[in-house]
Amino acid sequence: MSYVSPHIKEKFESMPLDLKNAILARNVHLENMNDLMSVLEQIIAEGEGRG
């Protein structure tokens, strides 16, 4: 189960629903913006691999 720290919850909630769902589906533990950016980079890299 994924976790989003209250410290970054506002930033997370401002993201598009599809992107939030993609992040949460990864069962990640997000404590800070670095954690969030890391997951976003993984998603981008996977998307580039499909193109």
Give residue 42's pLDDT.
Answer: 96
Give residue 50's pLDDT.
Answer: 76
User: What are the pLDDT digits (tens) for 22-41?
Assistant: 999 999 999 999 999 999 99
- Of 49 and 21, which is predicted with more confidence? 21
48 pLDDT band, cuts 50/70/90, is confident
Asked if 40 contacts 12 with a C-beta cutoff of 8 angstroms, the reply is no
pTM comes to 0.88
Give residue 51's pLDDT.
Answer: 63
Asked if 30 contacts 4 with a C-beta cutoff of 8 angstroms, the reply is yes
